Chain A
Amino acid sequence: MTRLVERLPLLDLPAPTAASQRLCRELAALVDGRASTASHERALYARDMWPKALMWTRAGYTALPPDVIVWPETVEQVAAVTRKACELGVPLIPYGAGSGVCGGTIPLRGGIVMDVKRLSRIKSVDPEALEADVEAGMLGEIFERRLNRQGLSTGHFPSSMYCSTVGGWIAARGAGQASNRYGKIEDMTASVTAVDGRGEVVVTPRRPVPGWDLTQLLIGSEGALGTICSARMHLVRTPEARVFAGFKFRGIEEGTEAIRNIFQAGVRPAVVRLYDPFDTLLVGKGHEAKPAGKKGLLRAAFDEKVLVRLERLGSLTAIGQPIGLNRAADLLRECLLVLLFEGPADLVELEAEEATRVCLAAGGEDRGPDPARTWLEKRYAVSYKQSRVFDSGAFVDTMEVAATWDKVTQVYHRVRQAVAPLAFVMCHFSHAYPEGCALYFTFAGAAGSLEQIEERYDAIWRAGLAAARSAGATATHHHGVGVSKLNALKGQLGDGMRLIQALKATFDPKGILNPGKLGV
């Protein structure tokens, strides 16, 4: 069977061809010498943080690497590189910090990877209008820290905050942990400057726009319509006050109903996270005294030591045969809801009071501020624990989908049921709106050989996405499509793929930009 993404032995990377070395020289002349065909760099830029590619790396394999990597520093250099690629018909893949988890930057047909991290300037900040012009290669955490010095904030806090760029946020249509209050990246981006597939600079108009909303069409385009070079972003003021709250519910049905009622009551916590029972056990261990009795024993069964073992060889059998673990998780009921309110001091107190009233009415038990405080302290930590899982020979991945409230619990149960034979699965509910929310599934699995791992990994995704889609969920809420959800993209858009194809023909008539992505 032909794979969408081929893997090669890492140590047997083909040497740069004479043609790619010539191309490298030509590109170097356009970007002040910053171009390379070095094997180690080609291997590094062959992947992002797509877990399947991480598994390959651990096993000594790589996806097809690019032929050349370039590091432009200005929009003009991006345009010049693009024109050269267009002239030669060579694939060109824009690259930010490589933190995507869907394989969006994998050069499916080789070519040029264009790393835009050197475009990292904040060009202007307008504290009155609450806007900033920032280049695409700016890393999220640095951008936020610099804005904070002026009492401003992006309001965008993805878990990849330390290793993702503004351009990547926009290209993948991302969301931050506080999207409940501040919106997703499509809600925060006023305008973008991009270079299309012909090497022309496109500055999208801000509102009011007289026709199509070009900004929205470039958001989520995953490098297939243009290289995002900078953006005009809406900002918020750093919050005057924060209020933390936590509630326990007797199940996800109660918990999701509470979230729905909170949002439909007009309350907008910045952070909302409802953990399913097993996830509750994991997040709860950090900030609560272990209860006595049967619950304590059950909790002990999953305590830190066991979790650590799960990440090591001793757990491979358990994760490799996940039915038992999933059945054990089925016995659990308690769900933790973490809420964080922020904004004007006179408002957040009222919002917290109203949310508390709603949660108690939905059957919640007030657990005080500690769960939310602890979450905030560790908000970026979880992603960095994943490497331990990969080190152990197991794998972990996440699938985030979104649905309206009438479908949310159905999506949850169907995905769990579909994936349970293949991987251990848990979920939290976040990114809430009056109409629905996102469900963030975490899968952990293991198998023997690399081939068996790949087979299992692919089966998990097929089963998970099919179940989510059959229950009425969208295929992704904020991670994007990349290569892992290409089939789901086509399934979800149906005839709407014609619109994507027409956009591709308009902005990238030669099809050089990240070819194969978005199904075009």
Chain B
Amino acid sequence: MSSLPIDLTELEERLAKAAGVNSRVSDGRLELLPTTVKEAARAEAARGHFDPDGSRTLISLAAFAHIEAPDPITSSVKVGASAQLADVEAALRSAGLTLGWLSPKARALSVRAWIEGPYAGLRVIPGNRLESAALSLSVSLRGGGLYQGIAAPRSAVGPVLEGLILGCGGQVGALLEVQLRALGRPEVVETVHAGLERPEEVAQLVRAALQRDVPVVEVQVRRKARGYTADLVVASLGFRASRDRAALEQLAKDHGELRTMRRVEERELPFEGELPWERLPWAVAQGGPLTLYRLARESLVIAAEGPVKGALALDRAPEPLPTPFLSALALRPPEVA
């Protein structure tokens, strides 16, 4: 400690006193180590006050990696945002629950990266709608303050403020804890194998299945010597599994040719992007192997060997929030404990 520049020592003293959190110095920066959401909010407020540009202070969120026991009553699980999705999914599996059918790259993320990054913590729910997995969020706001959403399935309390957090790269603040919604784990996962002549037919078949309320969760598309093959994975709850398979088989016949069912091996492709539906035929026509995930009426996630035109890459940095908005956020004097 004595080897530190005096101003850093002073900074540590002031910040630690103001925030009431543990701290340490690492690589010439002061690292604050909050362990609760309130400590994190105080640390953020203190940093805003004593180190406004944040260049000398780091707030470690490593402590926010906990995973509570899944709650079957609310079909949810409370987790720290630094937890890994794979660990969350494992915990949910033991309770017969799941976050949903996520793409391989999404599954490899932390909760924070999944929610704050371009995946925006979205998954498909029955009805083929996109829904945020976050039932409630705790965010330590830039410049001080704590936003704690109420855990309620929906609300009408003003704008959907999660629109400032999901997919926004933590620009309004640091995501600390999340109560994640879970879904009942599919009991039957089957694959229907279809042969289709044209790229448009691939898109039409998939959309028709969704509109017919068939829970298609993944589609692997390949170009063949003549036309295309689509392996459609359908993940159903037990009471409707036979119906879902039969409905999908009928649709495959209506749009092309139903082929022998076979098991599909998961494959991970280097690129994942979010694609509007109207671009799908074009992407299929390019001929490379594709896998489609998060098949919702709003958009889909496409995995491919390389970037797909029209798809928003899901490993990019989110766009900056408008300057007037960020300025307005920072206008308020920070609250120092």
Measured CB to CB, the residues of A under 8 A from B are: 128-130, 172-175, 179, 181-184, 186-187, 190, 206-222, 225, 234, 237, 260, 264-268, 343-344, 346-347, 350-351, 353-354, 402-406, 431, 433-438, 472-481, 485, 488-489, 492-496, 498-506, 509, 518
Chain B, residues 150-187, CB within 8 Å of chain A (1/0): the string is: 11111111111111101111001000000001111000
A343-B158 in contact (CB<8A): no
**How many angstroms between the C-alpha atoms of A182 and B153 in the bound complex?**
14
CB < 8 Å: which of B141, B237, B329 contacts A266? Answer: B237
**How many angstroms between the C-alpha atoms of A509 and B299 in the bound complex?**
33
Closest to B246 in A: A346
**How many angstroms between the C-alpha atoms of A488 and B155 in the bound complex?**
13
CB < 8 Å: which of A437, A478, A496 contacts B161? Answer: A496
Q: How far is the CB of B67 from chain A (nearest CB, A)?
A: 18
A213-B157 in contact (CB<8A): no
A183-B127 in contact (CB<8A): yes
B329-A502 in contact (CB<8A): yes
User: 25 A–B contact pairs at CB < 8 A?
Assistant: A173-B158, A183-B127, A186-B154, A207-B130, A208-B273, A209-B312, A210-B312, A212-B319, A216-B160, A217-B160, A220-B158, A265-B237, A266-B183, A266-B237, A403-B152, A474-B155, A477-B154, A477-B156, A478-B154, A493-B158, A498-B329, A501-B328, A501-B332, A502-B329, A505-B328
19 more CB-based (< 8 A) A-B contacts, given A208-B274, A222-B158, A435-B75: A129-B277, A183-B127, A184-B154, A206-B276, A207-B298, A208-B311, A209-B312, A216-B160, A217-B163, A264-B184, A266-B240, A403-B152, A431-B154, A434-B183, A477-B154, A489-B157, A495-B147, A498-B143, A505-B331
Contact A506:B328 (CB < 8 A) given known A211-B168, A211-B321, A434-B183: yes
A481-B157 in contact (CB<8A): yes
B145-A498 in contact (CB<8A): yes
**How many angstroms between the C-alpha atoms of A344 and B167 in the bound complex?**
34
Contact A343:B213 (CB < 8 A) given known A219-B159, A499-B329, A501-B328: yes
**How many angstroms between the C-alpha atoms of A225 and B76 in the bound complex?**
33
Contact A214:B163 (CB < 8 A) given known A183-B127, A343-B213, A436-B74: yes
Q: How far is the CB of A97 from chain B (nearest CB, A)?
A: 17
B76-A213 in contact (CB<8A): no
Contacts of A346 in B (CB 8 A): 243, 246-247
Contact A344:B74 (CB < 8 A) given known A489-B158, A503-B325: no
The 5 closest A-B CB pairs, nearest first, are A495-B145, A211-B319, A216-B163, A208-B274, A505-B328
Contacts of B329 in A (CB 8 A): 498-499, 502
Q: How far is the CB of A452 from chain B (nearest CB, A)?
A: 30
CB < 8 Å: which of B154, B246, B318 contacts A211? Answer: B318
Contact A130:B163 (CB < 8 A) given known A181-B127, A221-B158, A478-B156: no
Q: How far is the CB of B70 from chain A (nearest CB, A)?
A: 12
Q: How far is the CB of A284 from chain B (nearest CB, A)?
A: 28
The bracket for how many chain B residues form the interface is: 35 or more
Chain B residues 268 to 317 lying within 8 A of chain A, measured CB to CB, are 273-278, 297-299, 311-312, 316
**How many angstroms between the C-alpha atoms of A18 and B214 in the bound complex?**
64
CB < 8 Å: which of A187, A431, A494 contacts B129? Answer: A187
Contact A212:B157 (CB < 8 A) given known A406-B73, A502-B325: no
CB < 8 Å: which of A212, A435, A479 contacts B156? Answer: A479
B243-A506 in contact (CB<8A): no
B135-A404 in contact (CB<8A): yes
Q: How far is the CB of B38 from chain A (nearest CB, A)?
A: 12
A477-B127 in contact (CB<8A): no
CB < 8 Å: which of B147, B298, B331 contacts A206? Answer: B298
Residue among B159, B169, B276, B299 facing the most chain A CB atoms (10 A cut-off)? B159
Contact A182:B127 (CB < 8 A) given known A208-B276, A495-B141, A498-B145: yes
A225-B129 in contact (CB<8A): no
B154-A402 in contact (CB<8A): yes
Contacts of A437 in B (CB 8 A): 153
Contact A264:B75 (CB < 8 A) given known A130-B211, A219-B159: yes
**How many angstroms between the C-alpha atoms of A152 and B116 in the bound complex?**
35
A212-B237 in contact (CB<8A): no
Contacts of B129 in A (CB 8 A): 183, 187
B159-A353 in contact (CB<8A): no
**How many angstroms between the C-alpha atoms of A472 and B239 in the bound complex?**
34
> Residue B104 at the A interface, CB < 8 A?
no
CB < 8 Å: which of B118, B147, B299 contacts A499? Answer: B147
A435-B211 in contact (CB<8A): no
Residue among B126, B155, B237, B325 facing the most chain A CB atoms (10 A cut-off)? B155
Contact A186:B158 (CB < 8 A) given known A213-B167, A268-B126, A404-B135: no
A225-B161 in contact (CB<8A): no
B211-A237 in contact (CB<8A): yes
Closest to B169 in A: A211
A406-B213 in contact (CB<8A): no
**How many angstroms between the C-alpha atoms of A172 and B130 in the bound complex?**
21
Q: How far is the CB of B336 from chain A (nearest CB, A)?
A: 14
Contact A506:B325 (CB < 8 A) given known A402-B152, A406-B73: yes
A494-B147 in contact (CB<8A): yes
Residue among A181, A474, A500 facing the most chain B CB atoms (10 A cut-off)? A474
Closest to B301 in A: A208
Contact A436:B152 (CB < 8 A) given known A212-B321, A216-B160, A404-B74: yes
**How many angstroms between the C-alpha atoms of A483 and B26 in the bound complex?**
50
**How many angstroms between the C-alpha atoms of A485 and B155 in the bound complex?**
13
Q: How far is the CB of A268 from chain B (nearest CB, A)?
A: 5
Contacts of B213 in A (CB 8 A): 343-344, 347
CB < 8 Å: which of B153, B159, B273, B319 contacts A435? Answer: B153
